[in-house]
């Protein structure tokens, strides 16, 4: 008697690594096998690079429980990750559009053939909107070539928390806690010397990490790419002056890295430091310049063991993704996300079209920051 064959589900982690990705992979695997032990799980190594690479060295087939034991507490992603920019259409200003499109087709063709060769029923991708975009393109090419549907489910995995359609992304809470811990450690030495610090945090197009860390860590002011008023250097300087006038011993300016691009000033932190240290009003108040240091957290924010919250979110979304991946009901590519305490399903095309989710002027968190940060005319 031949062994019963269940469904085959592929999993990959793509884009930037995010703490909690391992918990997501574990949850998908355990749920897939729990629903039917005959179901099989295939893991792609190195993200989209593995899917579009040499199959024999870039996938792990018919995964058993031993392969994923002990991974839930580890940061990063144990199967690796990566990006393929050429999966997107040629960007504006591309010098050779025809060459770009040929490369895109070659990569897509390899990925499509690999998926077909493995006989997958669905694919689960943990990543951001770039990964969702690339996988959606590959799945569309697969269905066009073979005339058969192939399920695609996305889990939002990015420390930036900027995926539209979900309140939480896997990895954000850990990055936030790491950033707040760095801010608190920095405050100890800044307060001892009565100095100012500019703390640069991750966040290329969105300022959610900087905004949340600045509020939770008690920053003097916060600079994020979405809000031009936040990186007006004269207004920032006015806030620093107020903090000096009010006898603050530690003055910490939290800045998202994306401010450099949004402001068109790649050395904006250095410019701000020069303004603060050379300001006559501050020098007069202190009797000396206010020494200002620039600190960059960088990739440290996304390292280390995932927080309990990230592992919890990853586990909930992973189980929901497995249910959807094994569903017999045909559906377009979907993302599983959170709204309040509920898990929600969002069409991936909408997620791609409306991401990144940015900090709007009407954001409650931005309103909270404006109430809590030092103001130029603060009197208490």
Domain with CATH 3.40.50.460 in the chain: 174-301+361-372
pLDDT tens per residue across all 380 residues of the chain: 345 579 999 999 999 999 999 999 999 999 999 999 999 999 999 999 999 999 988 999 888 888 899 999 999 999 999 989 999 999 999 999 999 999 999 999 999 999 999 999 999 999 999 999 999 999 999 999 999 999 999 999 999 999 999 999 999 999 999 999 999 999 999 999 999 999 999 999 999 999 999 999 999 999 999 999 999 999 999 999 999 999 999 999 999 999 999 999 999 999 999 999 999 999 999 999 999 999 999 999 999 999 999 999 999 999 999 999 999 887 899 999 999 989 999 999 999 999 999 999 999 999 999 999 999 998 88
Is 173 a catalytic site residue? no
Domain with CATH 3.40.50.450 in the chain: 8-170+306-340
For 177, how many CA atoms within 13 A lie in the half-sphere containing its CB? 13
Backbone phi and psi for residue 297, each to the nearest 5 degrees, phi listed first:
-80, -45
C-alpha to C-alpha distances, 308 to 114, 127, 171, nearest whole angstrom: 35, 19, 11
CATH no., domain 174-301+361-372: 3.40.50.460
CATH no., domain 8-170+306-340: 3.40.50.450
- State the Cα–Cα distance between residues 125 and 131, nearest whole angstrom: 7
Cis check: omega of the bond before 173, within 30 degrees of 0: no
Q: Out of 17, 121, 129, 160, which one is annotated catalytic?
A: 160
């Amino acid at each position: 008697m031949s062994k019963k064959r269940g469904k085959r589900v592929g999993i990959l982690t793509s884009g930037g690594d995010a703490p909690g990705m391992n918990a997501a992979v574990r949850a998908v695997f355990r749920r897939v096998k729990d629903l039917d032990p005959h179901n099989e799980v295939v893991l792609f190594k190195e993200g989209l690079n593995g899917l579009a690479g040499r199959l024999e060295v870039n996938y792990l087939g018919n995964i058993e429980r031993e392969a994923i034991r002990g991974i839930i507490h580890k940061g990063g992603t144990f199967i690796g990750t990566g990006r393929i920019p050429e999966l997107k259409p040629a960007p504006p200003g591309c010098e050779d559009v025809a060459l770009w499109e040929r490369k895109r087709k070659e990569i897509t063709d390899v990925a499509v053939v690999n998926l077909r060769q493995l006989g997958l029923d669905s694919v689960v991708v943990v990543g951001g909107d770039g990964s969702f975009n690339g996988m959606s393109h590959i799945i569309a090419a697969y269905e066009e070539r073979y005339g058969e549907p192939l399920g695609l489910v996305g889990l939002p995995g990015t420390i930036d928390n900027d995926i539209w359609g979900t309140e939480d992304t896997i990895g954000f809470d850990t990055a936030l806690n790491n950033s707040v811990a760095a801010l608190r450690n920095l405050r100890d030495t800044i307060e001892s010397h009565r100095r100012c610090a500019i703390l640069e945090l991750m966040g290329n197009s969105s300022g959610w990490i900087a905004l949340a860390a600045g509020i939770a860590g008690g920053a003097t002011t916060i600079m994020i790419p979405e809000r031009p008023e936040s990186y007006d250097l004269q207004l920032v300087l006015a806030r620093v002056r107020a903090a000096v006038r009010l006898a603050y011993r530690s003055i910490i300016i939290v800045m998202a890295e994306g401010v450099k691009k949004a402001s068109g000033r790649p050395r904006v932190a250095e410019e701000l430091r020069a303004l603060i240290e050379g300001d006559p009003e501050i020098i007069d108040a202190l009797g000396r310049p206010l020494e200002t240091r620039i600190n960059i957290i960088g990739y440290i924010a996304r390292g280390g063991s995932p927080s309990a919250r990230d592992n919890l979110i990853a586990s909930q979304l992973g189980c929901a993704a497995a249910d959807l991946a094994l569903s017999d009901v045909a559906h377009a590519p979907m993302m599983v996300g959170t709204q309040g305490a509920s898990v929600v399903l969002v069409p991936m095309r909408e997620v791609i079209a409306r991401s990144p989710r940015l900090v709007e002027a009407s954001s409650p968190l931005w309103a909270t920051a404006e109430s809590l940060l030092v103001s130029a005319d603060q009197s208490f």
